[in-house]
Amino acid sequence: MLTRGEAHQLLVKRLEPRQDSLNESIEEHRTIERPFGWLFFVALVASNTAQRGVFSHRLIIVNKHSNQVIGSSVDYTPERFIDIYENLLAKSQAAGQNWCRAMSLPFPWKSSGRERLARKAKEMGLYELK
């Protein structure tokens, strides 16, 4: 199981270098802890001194049990993003299928419940940062 510090390091490793003049910075003071792990706020900030300030934010979940790092292509509020993730996680655990360990669709089990949950996660805009 990850600690908050280990989750932070994992997130830093998974953030890809940007091709523009913006850098990503984790805003530690805004991190939200939940039973599954943490919701991190990642700010996009200018890397040069001519442009200052935060341009936008990304919300990223790190699951401390599965080491999974989840982002969203949809601009959810933090509360909504957490709610969506917790609901999908609860459905997965209730079905005993653990969708969060395999966001990609498993080939031989095209009609499995895990595929349906993974598809639902993708429909909601959730994706894994690898």
What is the DSSP secondary-structure string of 95-110? HT--GGG--SPPGGGT
pLDDT per residue as tens digits for the range 99-130: 555 444 444 434 456 677 788 899 999 999 98
What mean pLDDT is predicted for residues 62-84?
96
pLDDT per residue as tens digits for the range 18-56: 666 678 889 999 999 999 999 999 988 776 655 566 678
What pLDDT shows up at residue 105? 43
Would you call 69 helix, strand, or coil by DSSP? strand
Distance between CA atoms of 66 and 26, rounded to whole angstroms? 21
C-alpha pair distances (Å), 58 with each of 19, 42, 95: 16, 5, 30
Predicted structure pTM score: 0.80
